[in-house]
Amino acid sequence: MKKIIEASGEGLESLLGEYVTLWCDSYIFYGRLVGVNTDDVKLEDTHVVYETGPLSDKKFKDAQRLPGEFRYVRTSKIENYGLHSKGAA
């Protein structure tokens, strides 16, 4: 798994160390991207977003922190992703 030592490249790799939102098959996840490989991404300070509210708002209407220091999301389940500001949850 790649770690936050040097962020280079494009796609998910270019967002290492940043807070991201992952729009997946069934859920929306928000957290700090700290690892990427071909099968998984590793998120720190991970939240599951149950209700976004208006997408123009800076914070999600209902985002709940998941237990544990890290969570992993399968890359095959990610439909869309992007940079999001810290404190969006």
Q: Across the chain, what does the average pLDDT equal?
A: 90
State the pLDDT at residue 48: 97
Query: What are the structural domains of the chain?
Result: 2-83 (2.30.30.100)
Using a pLDDT cut of 90, give the percent of the chain over it.
74
State the pLDDT at residue 19: 95
Q: Which phi-psi region, left, alpha or beta, contains residue 2 (left: φ > 0; alpha: ψ -120 to 50)?
A: beta
End-to-end CA distance of the chain: 26
- Per-residue pLDDT reduced to its tens digit, 20-33: 999 999 999 999 99
